[in-house]
Amino acid sequence: MILQALNAYYHRKCNSPDPAERLPEFGIEQKDIAFVLEIAADGALIQLVDTRTPDARGKKLAQSFRVPQGVKKASGVAANLLWDTVEYVLGIDTRGNPLRVVEQHAQFVSRIEALPDAALQDAGIEAIRNFYRKFEPAQLETQAAWPQALEVNAVLTFRLHGDVNLVCQRPTVVRAILNAVTDGDARMAMCLVSGDDAPVQRLHTSIKNVWGAQSSGANIVSFNARAFESYGKTERQGENAPVGQAAAFAYTTALNHLLHRESTQRIQIGDASTVFWADQASDLESAIPDIFGDPPKDDPDRNVQAVHAVFAAIKSGQYGAVTDTNRFHILGLSPNAARISVRFYHCLPLAELGARVAQHFKDLELVRGMYDPQYPSIKRLLQAVCLATATQPQGDIDRVPPNLGGAIVDAVFSGLDVPYPSLWLNTAVGRCRAEQSVNYFRAAAIKACLNRQIRRLTLSTHLPEKEFLPMLDLTNPSPAYRMGRLFAALEKIQEEASPGINATIRDRYYGAASSTPVAVFTTLLRLKNAHIKKLATGRGVWFEKLLAEILGEVADFPRQLPLPDQGRFALGYYHQRQHFFAKKPADSTTPEGAPA
């Protein structure tokens, strides 16, 4: 189904009314080419053009061109048509293997000479043939870009002087390429993607830009050992899962387009490279990365606007029409040596997609400080549960467990009651305990994980437990939540009794209080009496009433709290702390929500 969906997306993009959005036709691929040999009609070298331009970080990126589809290269010699590396195109050794370079260059030239007569008569092809008749390596020494091209064995191609397009893009040449695409030795079989009888593609084009995979690319569909073969189909690779040449080109081209470094339809979360597309054109295709990714520095409100647009569409019924047959696809890929693993795949109607995105942010919704984002990105939530370093004060994202990011995204799109990975709750609680601090991002992650666990448990056992609210909940009976509130109240008493204090009970006791309450709270409740004596009488009475209200549902302090209850403790602590700093009515001497 994944390959069929990618094949359909490819044909949708090929038929796009906007020429800039169209994907290459069968037999053509998009390739980054750093240098172009501009030649005259008589074969004279005019100049070596450097197509690279610096990006925002100063790294030079090559321009992308439509060229004949490259051949699958392994250890042998295999030349591409009309474009390749310096060694293939010019026959100049760059790595100390001159005999191999002679063979590479000979094969490159032979592929050009093997073109049909119509193509050989094209002015661009004639210019290339003339170039080889008179080429001398010394001609390149006068070109400023030559040392850089030689150093990295760069990819080269040709352009006829006066043309805008490359020689391989000239109409006569393109027609010859398309007519010569089919491998004459390919066997016919029913294509598993299209269902048509078609020549089987033996080796599929590599998929590139999957984080962690080989830089040269990796495959989703491949066979390279007898262990993967069956039914006696051992003579040629690919026959165990026959995919037609056209379908193989379509799905690989579409997926490489979605994974391209400048794609607006992909996000990288942990080791999961995730791409999004729809059966029909939809704003959500490019909005989803804005919703879940970090907003750019020059547009910090982009993700807020994207989330609001989804909420507005859901409210207006835009994603809920009965006649809406548009489906949305979410594909997560992760590296696995020379192959690519499918981490997850979801195919959803837009109405369900919108509802699941909305539920994700509803689960994360939490009272926040002035500078905390309304809709935190998954990357920022992951950073918050990682160890902070001098260079990464928000948390070192490289220390995130590799499977965690993809598992979170998978849970978001799996269903409204599918729990988030337990590892997320574990790491968030553990980081709170290690740093003796519960910040907005960790509290949001804990609340989201707990509420989904509660929702799933309620459905399976019919034993309802109240879900946690975004703000302080005075009626929540959870003992762990109440003990978190109690710890926040005791810390507030200490702060008011000793203004300007450098370290509070949180810095010394949070870890023990959240895991082994009985060992800590008896001591803290005894010490708070000394602090209350330092407060004004009215203030001290108010705190005593607050403590009585909190402890009203706590029968006893347990010896230990399991990890989910440590999360409830952290959430109670965060809610109570935020409530202390919330704005109260101007004429009130008792904070809002306090016991009478």
C-alpha neighbours within 13 Å on the C-beta side of residue 414: 16
By C-alpha distance, which of 488, 508, 507, 479 is closest to 578?
488
The pLDDT mean for the chain works out to: 86
Question: Does residue 79 have a pLDDT over 60?
Answer: yes
175: CB partners within 8 A, 6+ apart: 118, 119
For residue 345, count CB atoms less than 10 angstroms from its CB and return exposed for 0-12, middle for 13-18, buried for 19 or more.
middle
Sheet containing 155-160: order of strands: 45-50, 35-39, 155-160, 83-85
Q: Give the pLDDT mean for 185-200.
A: 81
pLDDT in the model for residue 596 = 40
Mean pLDDT lowest among 234-248, 369-383, 513-527:
234-248
Over residues 305-326, mean pLDDT: 71
Other beta carbons within 10 angstroms of residue 477's beta carbon come to 12
* Digit-coded pLDDT (tens) for 144-159: 999 999 999 999 999 9
Report how far residue 26's alpha carbon sits from residue 68's, in angstroms, rounded to the nearest whole number: 9
Token readout for 416 is 């409204």
What is the three-class DSSP state of 276?
A: strand
* pLDDT over 60 at 80, yes or no: yes
Tell whether the model's pLDDT for residue 591 goes beyond 50: no
| DSSP-derived 3-state class of residue 45 | strand
Does pLDDT of 251 surpass 70?
Answer: yes
Per cent of the chain over pLDDT 70 is 90
Mean pLDDT of 484-492: 95
- pLDDT tier, 587 (very low <50, low <70, confident <90, very high otherwise): very low
Q: What is the pLDDT of residues 409-448, one digit of tens each?
A: 999 999 888 899 999 999 999 999 999 999 999 999 999 9
* Predicted local distance difference test score (pLDDT) of residue 20: 78
Q: Provide the residue type at 351 as one letter.
A: A
pTM of the shown model: 0.74
Choice between 18 and 225, residue whose per-residue pLDDT is larger = 18
Q: What is the pLDDT at residue 450?
A: 95
> Is the pLDDT at 593 greater than 80, yes or no?
no
439-464: pLDDT as tens digits = 999 999 999 999 999 988 887 776 77
**Structure confidence by residue, pLDDT tens digits, 342-368:** 999 999 888 888 889 889 999 999 999
Least confident span in 59-73, 204-218, 414-428, 576-590: 576-590
Tens digits of residue pLDDT in 546-576: 999 999 878 889 999 999 999 999 999 999 9
Quick one: pLDDT band at residue 214, thresholds 50, 70, 90?
confident
**pLDDT reading at 182 higher than 60:** no
Parse the chain into domains and list their residue ranges: 27-179, 187-301+324-348, 477-596
pLDDT value, residue 424: 94
The CA–CA distances, whole Å, from 284 to 9, 277, 290, 292, 486 equal 15, 8, 9, 12, 44
Which pLDDT belongs to residue 586?
47
105-159 pLDDT, tens digit each: 999 999 999 888 888 999 999 999 999 999 999 989 999 999 999 999 999 999 9
Determine the residue type at 392: Q
SS3 451: helix
Q: pLDDT value at position 442?
A: 95
The predicted pLDDT at position 542 comes to 93
Are 565 and 465 in contact by the 8 Å Cβ rule? The answer is no
pLDDT of 215 > 60? The answer is yes
What is the structure's pLDDT at 495? Answer: 93
Burial class (CB in 10 A: 0-12, 13-18, 19+), 119: buried
- Which burial class, exposed, middle or buried, applies to 147 when counting CB atoms under 10 A from its CB (0-12, 13-18, 19+)? exposed
